[in-house]
Amino acid sequence: MKRFIDLAENTPEELAELLALAGRLDRHPEPQALTGKVLGMLFFNPSLRTVASFQAAMGRLGGSSFVITPGAGTWKLEARNGIVMDGDAAEHIREAVPVLASYADVLGIRAFAGGIDLEADLEERKFMEMASICPAPLVNLESAVNHPCQALGDWKTMDDLEVPASGGRFVLSWANHPHALPLAVPAAVVHMAAMRGMDVTVLRPEGYALPDPIMQRARDAAARSGGSVRETDDRKEATEGAHVIYAKSWGSTSHYGRPADDRNLRSNLEHWTVDESWFDNALAEAIFMHCLPVRRNVVVADEVLDGPRSRVLPQARNRMTVQAAILHRLLLGGGR
Ligand code: CP
């Protein structure tokens, strides 16, 4: 494995090996496996889990890490090409990325969507430009429309809980939020559940359909795995017999790049706060998932987050377990 930027770059067999390695390293730690190795991480956007879980994973394997947050104690970075850099940014990514990569054995980058040009974000233009100038193995710490480490951790969480793959009913539900959030987690999660062979339903209000390329990618994955993908705005129908309800908010694609219009559209959607009633038609043992961070009693009610269905903490812990496997595989090889 030369990089980890998209689950789709890995075969189902390779992902199964990574998940098995994650489980093995969790049960039988290898505290010297990555002695002397360095992970560098470049965060253009905030994080709690990703930064902490990668540092913890690298430390538990005997390696070390550094974190750069441009503009917070380090130079502000410019990402646009061909501009006169007479503003705030003292350095361009074209120098910064290869410089950081030269200090590290593996580099991770978090760069959210620009949120203005949907086509540019769907094509991952910003992230792929940085990938093209990064000579070290690269890990996607969340890009415009992808979050493969979150998706792999969620896959492991469902495996750990023995949620069925074939025949498992997975509902990705839009949820209330004051802001138009990026498409990265919903895109990655719907793709992951389809790759896992599940029957996936995207439940969302009018105006919040996921973009066609995201849905098509998930449908193609489902066609290969034996799963299925559909979308609806009918909560009762969507949640019927569900094994998993995974909540996440995202911005309206019909009002992409126009936050005021998006705010207007979502002003009537405050009843999309997930509470226990959302599970009325689900299986009795249905679980609740969310990638975190989550706004309590806006996105999800306390009764769900604090209740027996919630698996948000095991999800967060599995970020560390799968990332240990990713680092192990990137730096030591093995597998296919
Ligand atoms: N789920 C996730 O990526 O969390 P952070 O944004 O805190 O890293």
Pocket-testing residue among 67, 185, 292, 315, ligand 1, by greatest number of atoms within 8 A of Cβ: 292
DSSP 106-174: EEEEE----SS-HHHHHTTHHHHHHHHT--S-EEES--SS--HHHHHHHHHHHHHTT--STT-EEEEEE
Per-block mean pLDDT, blocks of 10 residues, the chain (336 long): 97 97 98 98 98 98 98 96 97 98 98 96 98 98 98 99 98 96 98 98 97 98 98 98 98 93 94 98 98 98 98 98 98 78
Q: Is the minimum distance from the CB of 140 to ligand 1 under 6 angstroms?
A: no
| Length of the chain counted residue by residue | 336
For helices 312-332 and 12-27, the axis angle rounded to 10 degrees is 100
pLDDT at 334: 75
* Shortest-distance atom of ligand 1 to CA 52: 8
pLDDT at 100: 98
pLDDT at 335: 58
pLDDT at 169: 98
* Tokens (6 digits) for 186: 């919903």
Q: Is the minimum distance from the CB of 318 to ligand 1 under 6 angstroms?
A: no
pLDDT at 336: 43
pTM over 0.95: yes
Convert 237-268 into a string of H (helix), E (strand) and C (coil).
HHHCCCCEEEEECCCCCCCCCCHHHHHHHHCC
Q: Is the minimum distance from the CB of 312 to ligand 1 under 6 angstroms?
A: no
Q: Which fold has domain 162-310?
A: Rossmann fold (3.40.50)
Domain(s) of CATH 3.40.50.1370: residues in the chain: 7-147+316-332, 162-310
User: Using CA positions, which residue lies closest to atom 4 of ligand 1?
Assistant: 49
Q: Is the minimum distance from the CB of 292 to ligand 1 under 6 angstroms?
A: yes
pLDDT at 311: 98
Cα–Cα distance measured from residue 323 to residue 213, given in angstroms and rounded to the nearest whole number: 27
Cα–Cα distance measured from residue 211 to residue 182, given in angstroms and rounded to the nearest whole number: 12
* Shortest-distance atom of ligand 1 to CA 142: 3
User: Using CA positions, which residue lies closest to atom 6 of ligand 1?
Assistant: 47
* Shortest-distance atom of ligand 1 to CA 292: 1
Its CATH class, for the domain covering 7-147+316-332, is alpha beta
